[in-house]
Amino acid sequence: MLYTAAIMVCLVDEPRNYDTCQIINAHFKYQSEQQCWDAINGQVKYQGNNMLQVGYELVDAKCISWLEKNESL
């Protein structure tokens, strides 16, 4: 499989909409869902306090699968 990671953060105590939320995309691709979640968890751990200091909170995170693994190879 091919996975990408995305994290959604929104301004604290504001309605969640296009203007108050941001999507942080990974600039990498991952070969497994576990690698993708490890990257998300590492990013949240690294950025968690910084996000709160600038007024954002973590709202959602996803690992998105794009391709099926070719079992014949």
Joined tokens for residue 56 = 């954002």
Joined tokens for residue 7 = 């994290």
Total-model pTM: 0.79
Q: Give, as one character, the DSSP assignment of residue 2.
A: E
- Map residue 72 onto helix, strand or coil: coil
Q: Each residue's pLDDT tens digit in the chain (73 positions)? A: 899 999 999 999 999 999 999 998 877 899 999 999 999 998 888 887 788 888 999 999 999 999 876 655 5
